[in-house]
Structures are given as structure tokens and as C-alpha cells.
Structure 1
Amino acid sequence: MNDRHLIELNVNGTEHEALVEPRKTLADVLRGDLGLTGTHLGCEHGVCGACTILLDGEPVRACLVFAVQAENSDIRTVESLSRDGELCDLQRSFSEHHGLQCGFCTPGFLMLAEGFLTQQPDADREQIREAVSANLCRCTGYQTIVDAIAATAAERAGTDTPSDPDKAATS
């Protein structure tokens, strides 16, 4: 009896085939079989969010999805964000607003934010805070991550960066 299955995956717009055991996670296939190491593995229990990718447009923890479950789905990893060596608006904003330090959690936050802003392009800072609370960061304290996402939302909407009521209260 063969315990491996040939699956087809569309990852970052490219079709791939992989021969996988049913229990192999999507994170392991992305990293090990396809060499897309931007998807980080932290807790491997779905808690930290470092492995967040977009599965059919929805942010999901790749460590909790079996690769066979993702067959024929549209998968986007952090590698899909930059084009021709140029950072996308969200990546630039994370850099400009110091939304990263050690960088380990950054791919997960970027993919969470990309999915969130696609679904809620006019999100306010409180909605952004709620969304990012799904992922863990041990370095930045989250404020700079919220700043980066809010700035990207404003840029995409063609408006000024929304003011931060917390900063205004302390000024």
C-alpha cells in the first residue's frame, strides 16, 4: 500500500506537483519540497502565526493545514509580495515604520496583513490591532506593526496616514 499522494499545488502563480504523505503539513511542503523558506516555522501548533500564508485569499497557519487539503487551492507565500527585486508597499511600510526587528515573525505578519487589507481595505487602527493580535512578536511591541499596516492602508486608499489616537493623547 502506497501512503504517498501526488498533489498539485498552485503556489505564487506557479503550478507544482509534490508526492506527499497524508500527514505532511503545507508548511513542510512549502519549505522542504518547494524551497520557499520565507514561511517560517515557530511553534508548529498554530499559535505564533509565523507560518501564515494565504490559502484562497484567507490567512491560514500553514503548520495546521495538511498539504493534501490544499490541493487545487491558490496559495500565496511571502515570496509572492515582492516583484522583480522590488519590495511591495506593505514590505516598504514595515521597513519605514520599523515594524520588524529580528524578522522571524515578519513573513507571517506580512501575509496576515495582506489578506486582512484585501478583505478590509478601509480598516481603522482598532481593527488592525485586532487583526494583528492573531500573531505573536517578541521584539516590536506591535505598535510599529500597526503603524506600518495603517500607513499601507492609507497609501492604497490614496489618503494621508491615519493619525494614531494613542500618540495624540500623549502629545
Structure 2
Amino acid sequence: MKILGISGSPRRGGNTEILLDEALDAASKSGAQTEKVILSTYRYSPCLSCGACEKTGRCIQQDDMLGIYEKIALADGMIFASPMYFYTVSGWAKSAIDRSQAFWSRKYILKDPVFSVNKKAYFIGLGATKGERLFEGTNLVMKYFYDAIGYEAAGELLIKGIDKKGDILNYPKHLEAARLLGGKAAGR
């Protein structure tokens, strides 16, 4: 089993990446092969809304997103992690999600059965604010993203009130929750 971890945080070594690493480590210890993608280290542009993918199932933009598409398609499961920016995922994460329109086109317009397989996806979200509705928008974005790429939402870890880099290390219960999520992703 291959679990793909995707980090939407531009802050390397921050709270989001720490939790993702905990989850991926637990998945690995449960027997899964893991790979981590740090979106901010890739170079890609937002969706152009050109409609080309509706004809071919492929995006016309020749950038690093092409490699990310392949990783998403070949994985057996996914753990997607992002900090909350204005009550949704980061710009890095949202641009990658928007670029997944090519998957949606392959699934719904071109009827490619590869993207109709329901693989399991898990989400880790962190926000500095403690707003009651912090994750409402994100939950919808992730639900429809997973659907387009042939995954189904299988679990989440949503944490409020953590902001400073590394502060998550002061919350062993959140670190353990990330490990449990990773184990679950690996089928444990």
C-alpha cells in the first residue's frame, strides 16, 4: 500500500508538516510505503479555466503539477494537510486542488474508470483562530476534491488555536491523533 502525504503549508518544519510527518511515520510503521509532497517546493500555476482538459483529460500547462497528478493517481491512499488561511486551505493547496479539474474531466466527462475507484483520503487542518466555523469551507473543498480524483473522505484531524511554528509539539494529544490517523490510512 502506498500512502501519499501532501503538505499545503509554505512554512517548512511548521505545525502542519510536523503533524503530516507523524501521520506518515505511523503509516510507514504500519507497513505502508509513504511519500511526501511539499507543494511549496513545486512550481505550478493556477487553473486557467481553458477547458482543454475536458477534451483530453490532461492539463495543457506543462509544469510541476504533471508529476503531482501522477503521484495522486498511483497512490492507494492520501493524507492531505494544510493550514487554514481565511477559513480555507492555503493558496498552494487551493491551486493544486483547482488544477485537479483535469481529473474531474477524466472522471465525469471522459468516463475514465481509474478515477472512479474510491481510495481513502484523510485531512489534517490547523488554524490559528478558534473560530466556530473554521473548517466548514475547507470540508466542502476537500470533499469535492477527493471526489474528482477518485478518493473518498475517510477521516480528519482538525485543530484550532495553534499558530507559532513548532507549537504543536506542546500538544502530545494532537501528535498522537496524527499517528492514529496515519495508522488508519495504512489500514491498521
Identify whether the pair has TM-score above 0.5, normalized to the shorter chain: no
Bigger helix fraction: 2
TM-score of the superposition, structure 2-length normalised? 0.27
Larger radius of gyration: 1
Work out which structure has the larger RCO, using CA pairs closer than 8 Å and 6 or more positions apart in sequence: 2
Bigger strand fraction: 2
